[in-house]
Amino acid sequence: MSVYHPGYPITTPKYRTGLWVLLGVVLAGFLYLWQACLVQTGGKFVYGLDDAYIHLAIAKNLMSHGVWGVTPFGNTSASSSPLWTLLLAGALKLTAGSVFTPLIVAATFSAVATLYLYRQLAEFEVPIPIAVLVSALFYLVVPLTTLPFIGMEHAMQVFWVVLYAFWLIRRFHPEAKDEHAFPVAFLTLLMCLTRFECAFLVIVPFLVALWRRDIRLACSLALGPMVAIGGFAFYSFQRGMPLVPNSILLKGNHPGDPAYLQSILMHIRFGIYSDWPSFTDLFLLTLTCAGVLRLKALREANGPLQVLVWTTLVATVLHAGFAIIGGMFRYEAYLVALMAICIGLTWWEAVKAISQIQDRTLTRQQWFVGFAAILIGILLLIPVFIFLKHWVLVCTLAAWLLTLALIGLRQDLTTQRFAKLAIKGFAPVMVVIAMGHRSLESARVLPFASRDIYSQQLQMATFLHRYYPGSKVVANDIGAICFLDDPHLLDLFGLATDKVAHYRMKGSYGTKEIGSLIHDFDPDVAVLYPSWFSGNKALPPTMLPVAAWTGPPVVSAASPTVVFFANSRPKALALRKRLMEFRPSLPEIVRAKFYRLPGE
């Protein structure tokens, strides 16, 4: 693998043409989704996740009050991305608190990550047309198209990870020099401050460095995660927050019972073999890359690429065991980016290796032997894909088998022609099919996700800001509520209320605890998902339901129905009157239902 001899200088007209084409793809993807989202939200831009407004709320309070919290009244550990929150706080000053700030920052990182990949592929002697195509697929599949519209840190995480991937390839090359070691400490620091899961990406390179007795490199790799995670834990301790953010404690897989190992294995199984078929396909293709790179023709020249492939595979397994896969295609986006790079580079190395094959004409008997070997291999793969319920891949394998048979029977093939047919033609088709579901589905879902937040969380926040500014509010979706206003908040999910998180972590969160929290808080209003509070977690009888808002089936919201509560009859009467006044302002897709109060 060429590392120090760029194949295409970035000043050539061909390179610049590819750059403009790629910029056009990025801009077209952004504008298409922008318009698609505005159609669903009546022309008002809204992020596809309420979590984006949580970061905005913390950034707003950090900028204005020096408080790391969703409200200005206390520090709350509701952000699992310290660097993103700090970046937003600084950017909000430049944009005068504009709601578009996360969109602009994330879109910038998406574009830069795609263009950086293109430049690196060109420097690795990949022809410009192929480099443009691979970079465009990367942009669509990660999906860097949709990540800016959910307003979260994942586009920035992908950018750091792309930098890290090519650093790994260069640093583990036999010609690498020692001065390339220390900069990675800063890079891994940025990665882990963006998302703590990036620490998984350090494990394999750290072990390889130890195996090679490169202590300087091993220390550099370990330093970044230690400073990032340990430093934020110390900062949290100083501010009276948990050492680990509540969002990680409540959403991740943490030790909570004697069967913890079994729980990890279950998460790995359902994480990798998930409801997101493209993720499973990409994992299997990356696993195949690990095997391909062990072939004699590729093994010696591609040691650095093998380090990257195994870094990706190990990190994927650990992420599946301890974190989340899914959630608007965001949590695993950095892994998809790495898998795409591994698959693309492995494919290109295999294409280059074809020229080293001794070219000779295959006899009909040799062709049938080769065809039989391919048939056996595919027959072994088909049950795997059937088990994974990927019927498109099954049909593709069958069609490819038929194509090989017809071509082989109609004309003689040489060894090189056969290899080019198999690698140049079949591999990209399989990759596009594997990746297609993720890119298309993410683009289809995003506008409806924006519609969910617009018709539910934004309407809740607008109502509370208009009628209950600065009041005591009980909620379980807190982002838009806290960004548009500064309420005194009781968060019954636990992101912004440590006592709730403590109860949930202990497994002792029930009606008694909820009732005690609400009684001590004495709220002016509560807006909650009723589906979250049932059975032993039912709301106390003192909470009187006043009205329900119900929208269409949801994509990104937790429930189509939210209910407004009050903890006394006078408060309930006042709440009902205000909700009736607000009712004409609701989008047409939201239905309002009012409950009878006791005594009516």
**Tens of pLDDT along 470-506?**
999 999 999 999 999 999 999 999 999 999 988 888 8
Give yes or no: residues 374 and 349 share one domain: no
Running DSSP on this structure, what letter comes out for residue 139? H
Give yes or no: residues 297 and 374 share one domain: no
Mean pLDDT across the chain, nearest whole number? 85
Give yes or no: residues 474 and 407 share one domain: no
Question: What's the confidence (pLDDT) of residue 245?
Answer: 87
Q: How far is it, in rounded angstroms, from Cα 336 to Cα 333?
A: 5
Is the pLDDT at 139 greater than 80, yes or no? yes
Are 110 and 160 in contact, with CB atoms under 8 Å apart?
no
* 388 against 151, higher pLDDT: 151
Task: For Cα atoms 311, 313, 315, give the angle at the middle one, nearest 5 degrees.
Answer: 65
Question: What's the confidence (pLDDT) of residue 3?
Answer: 44
| Among 77-81, 351-355, 430-434, the least confident range | 430-434
Going by C-alpha positions, the residue among 547, 551, 553 that lies closest to residue 589 is: 551
Domain boundary among 318, 353, 388: 353
Region 305-323: mean pLDDT is: 91
Tokens linked to 113: 């990550």
Residue with the two structure tokens 């290796």: 353
Query: Alpha helix (H) ranges present in 456-565?
Result: 457-467, 479-484, 498-506, 511-521
Give yes or no: residues 402 and 517 share one domain: no
Is the pLDDT at 583 greater than 80, yes or no? yes
Give yes or no: residues 373 and 485 share one domain: no
| Among 133-142, 220-229, 243-252, 561-570, the least confident range | 243-252
Give yes or no: residues 332 and 478 share one domain: no
Q: How far is it, in rounded angstroms, from Cα 461 to Cα 368?
A: 68
Task: Provide the domain limits for residue 241.
Answer: 13-353
Residue 1 lies in a domain: no
Running DSSP on this structure, what letter comes out for residue 414? B
* 58 against 432, higher pLDDT: 58
Is the pLDDT at 569 greater than 80, yes or no? yes
Going by C-alpha positions, the residue among 370, 553, 494 that lies closest to residue 54 is: 494
Give yes or no: residues 167 and 70 share one domain: yes
| Among 58-62, 263-267, 288-292, 538-542, the least confident range | 263-267
Is the pLDDT at 228 greater than 60, yes or no? yes
Region 306-315: mean pLDDT is: 94
Ordered DSSP codes for 43-82: T----S-THHHHHHHHHHHHHHHS--SSSTTS-----S-H
Question: What's the confidence (pLDDT) of residue 380?
Answer: 64
Q: How many structural domains is the chain composed of?
A: 3
| Among 129-138, 230-239, 414-423, 530-539, the least confident range | 414-423
Question: What's the confidence (pLDDT) of residue 283?
Answer: 84
pLDDT band of 405, cuts 50, 70, 90: low
Question: What's the confidence (pLDDT) of residue 433?
Answer: 65
Task: Give pLDDT tens digits for 438-460.
Answer: 888 889 999 999 999 999 999 99
Going by C-alpha positions, the residue among 229, 442, 447, 213 that lies closest to residue 336 is: 442
Region 88-98: mean pLDDT is: 88
Give yes or no: residues 374 and 256 share one domain: no
Question: What's the confidence (pLDDT) of residue 324?
Answer: 82
Question: What's the confidence (pLDDT) of residue 262?
Answer: 65
Region 121-133: mean pLDDT is: 87
- For 167, residues 6+ apart whose C-beta sits below 8 A from its C-beta are 180, 183, 184, 187
Give yes or no: residues 402 and 318 share one domain: no
Question: What's the confidence (pLDDT) of residue 356?
Answer: 66
Residue 548 lies in a domain: yes
Give yes or no: residues 494 and 378 share one domain: no
pTM above 0.85, yes or no: yes
CA distances, 85 to each of 59, 69, 346, 478 (Å): 6, 11, 36, 16
* 273 against 234, higher pLDDT: 234
Provide, rounded to the nearest whole percent, the portion of the chain with pLDDT above 70.
80
Give yes or no: residues 365 and 349 share one domain: no
Residue 340 lies in a domain: yes
Give yes or no: residues 498 and 372 share one domain: no
Is the pLDDT at 172 greater than 60, yes or no? yes
Residue 20 lies in a domain: yes
Residue 338 lies in a domain: yes
Is the pLDDT at 206 greater than 80, yes or no? yes
Residue 439 lies in a domain: no
